[in-house]
Amino acid sequence: MNCEIFSDCNCIIIRNFARCNTGHPFIIVLSNETMKPKLPRIFLLLLGIVFVLNLVQSYFTPLIFDEAYYWHYAQKLSWGYFDHPPLVALMVRLSGMFFDGELGVRFMSCILSSLMFIVLWACIDHPRKKDYVVHFFVLVFSMALLNAYGFFTLPDTPLLFFTALFLYVYKRFLAKPTWVWGVILGMTMAGLMYSKYHAVLVIVFVLLSNLKLVTLKNAWLAVIVALACYTPHFIWLYHNDFVTIKYHLFDRPNDPYSFTKYTLGYFVNLIALFGLTFPWIYWALFKTRQKDKFTRALLFLTYGIILFFFMSSFNRRIQTQWIIVITIPLIILVFRQMIENETLRKWIYRTGIVNGILILYLRVGLVYEPISPIVYETHGNKEWIAEIKSKIGDTPVVFENSYRNAPMYAFYAGVPTFSLNNLMYRRNQYSIDESEAKVQHQKILYVTRRKQKAPDLELTRADGKVFYGKYIDDFESFRKLRTLVEEPIHLDLEREQEFKVYNPYDQDIDLKKIKFNIAYLTSFKDVKDRMAIEPRIVDDSLKALPANDTVSFIFKFPKPKMKDPAYFRIGISENGLLPGINGTNTKFD
């Protein structure tokens, strides 16, 4: 067989002089783009502009409260944290290896968001996509929350990246379901789950789009790899009494259903995700048909998330970031439609540019407060913290009921802080880490929103909230004491009942330092009544709670002021502080 090869800048021609079964010679034409796929120059240029913009934004924009909280996570890397899986903390730690300050929190977010653009582009198979690179960037840049996760470091940032990567790898797996792609798919699923627990919805809805996956051995290999990679987090959950799962599923307070606040608010969030482009985005979704298994997966994922949270809106308020994952499949679906439909392309381009201009204005407003329409979290915190530190120096600060203020102050002031959570608040990372030990038996400033008589400091933040500070010369708290109740239990005011106290500390705790309190809660887990109780210790020879041991107490329920409490919780007050969240919400039998 004789071959001649001719090449120009656009294609390679291989003329094969062997004859096919018709007796005629044939010619094979292979595009250079097929042989060496690469990103268009305009794509790289626009991507570079977005990346630099995000870097600049990261450098000049003060932290928001959640970022400060995740920065607190990163001070001690772990396989899990109270509210979320650990990937967001790892991102902060890696960012801090390259830069200090705000960029030292956000650098990896800038990297992942840029990589997400590339992965999304790779997910789109269309022969004319390179003609519409600018339209692609207008579409993506027009989504406000997606923009924000281009520089803010939040759990949704890796979630979005790994959703895009998961879809790309799944597409390759469909084309070639080998063990190699099975392993990569499993690792990607693990990356999803290490980002945020909502990621399970991404995996489930893609699986539901193609149930034949259960017959593929390499699909099961992907599951095994994912579970193996996720095992360290499972172990962390086990050693921490599944604290994260219990909080998200059982301990979170809720409100009575409100159509306006819940369901209508959910539809408002669906619109807010896309701004002015929303009617064209959803029209393109509606017009998309299931041409192949990958498109079917994109549709199942989008509609599945929308329907899941629509149903959830009947019993809780849906936050906008919970549904942001639909932007990933929608970018792929909508951009395909934009290439084919000139009217759609024109209107998304026009409204997307308007969205982009508004977003750029708001992004400047994050840094330069005078042009911002609202006082946002990025405004005034640095100045407020500097004002406090100028008055108290390096004195540690204990904030009452604020996992937001405590890490923000620690980040900008560089001193130890602690969030002292009481029965009117909720547990958080400060409830399970070692922050409490860093302020024990030190002179601290205790900061609260509750109005105080003759406070040592009175401070007003940029948002108008007033805080009161009091010095405590020898601070001591025992917020890790746990009260344990064996269910079932009845609200019987005459009957003596039992609870236990577990002391996890390495020291005995004098019983004279602690008092007990009971809180009655509604069916929505809102605290309505709280009152003191005086239980008696079963072993009356004890004068202290033994270290790393459990002690039993006998008590009677006090009469609640509220009608028909659904839950109760027993808390402990130490050294005159407000009672803590020492027990779980226990339902009356």
Distance CA 336, CA 247 (A): 41
| Residue reference for tokens 């509750």 | 450
Say what the pLDDT of residue 197 is: 95
Q: Based on the domain organization, do 563 and 578 belong to the same domain?
A: yes
Q: What pLDDT shows up at residue 16?
A: 43
Same domain, 96 and 28: no
Q: Is the dihedral of CA 503, 508, 514, 515 positive or negative?
A: positive
Give the single-character DSSP code of 567: E
- The pLDDT of residue 255: 78
Task: Measure CA 531 to chain center.
Answer: 35
**Which tokens sit at 247?**
């909080």
Q: Are the C-beta atoms of residues 538 and 554 closer than 8 Å to each other?
A: yes
**Low-confidence residues in the chain, pLDDT < 70:** 1-37
CA distance 3 to 13: 10
Alpha helices in 102-259 (DSSP H): 103-123, 133-141, 144-148, 156-175, 179-195, 199-208, 217-239, 243-246
295 and 257, same domain (yes or no): yes
| 436 plus 580 within the same structural domain | no
The answer to whether residue 374 sits within a structural domain is no
β partners of residue 335: none
Give the chain's length: 589
pLDDT at 33 (0 to 100): 39
Given a contact cutoff of 8 angstroms between Cβ atoms, the answer to whether 219 and 182 are in contact is yes
Q: How many domains does the chain have?
A: 4
CA dist 351 and 347 (Å) reads 6
pLDDT at position 212:
96
The strand pair at 444-448 and 397-400 is best described as parallel
In a domain, 393, yes or no: yes
**Bridge-partner residues for 499, per DSSP?**
553
Strands 11-19 and 3-7: antiparallel
Q: The CATH number of the domain where 530 resides is what? A: 2.60.40
How confident is the model at residue 37, as a pLDDT?
Answer: 56
Shared domain for 408 and 492, answered yes or no, is no
Query: Computed from CA positions of residues 273, 278, 280, 285, in that sequence, does the dihedral angle turn out positive or negative?
Result: positive
346/219 same-domain check: yes
Name the strands in the sheet holding 527-533, side by side, starting at the edge strand that comes first in the sequence.
527-533, 514-521, 567-574, 586-587
Identity of the residue numbered 339: I
- End-to-end alpha carbon distance in the chain: 86
Q: How far apart are CA 406 and CA 447, in angstroms?
A: 10
Q: Considering 451, 472, 493, which residue would you say is the last residue of a domain? A: 472
Residue 23 — left, alpha, or beta (φ > 0 → left; ψ -120 to 50 → alpha)? Answer: left
Q: Within this chain, do residues 331 and 410 fall inside the same structural domain, yes or no? A: no
Which residue in 237, 195, 243, 191 sits closest to 88, CA to CA? 195
Look at residues 191, 148, 147, 142 and name the one whose alpha carbon lies nearest to residue 166.
191
Nearest Cα to Cα of residue 307 among 272, 260, 274, 263: 263
Amino acid at 163: T
If asked whether residues 75 and 159 sit together in one domain, one would say: yes
Helix ranges (DSSP H) in 288-341? 293-312, 327-340
Choose one of 367, 393, 419: the last residue of a domain: 367
Q: Which amino acid is residue 402, in one-letter code?
A: S
Closest CA to 166 of 226, 84, 90, 231: 226
Q: How far apart are CA 442 and CA 432, in angstroms?
A: 20
**345, 298: one domain:** yes
Q: By residue range, what is the domain housing residue 405?
A: 381-472
CB 281 within 8 A of CB 327: no
* Domain identity same for 278 and 344: yes
CA distance 226 to 65: 32
- Based on the fold, state whether residues 453 and 553 are members of the same structural domain: no
333 inside domain: yes
Q: Is residue 338 part of a domain?
A: yes
Write the secondary structure of 183-199 as one string of H (helix), E (strand) and C (coil). HHHHHHHHHHHHHCCCH
- Cβ-contact 143, 325 below 8 angstroms: no
Note whether 463 and 577 are same-domain residues: no
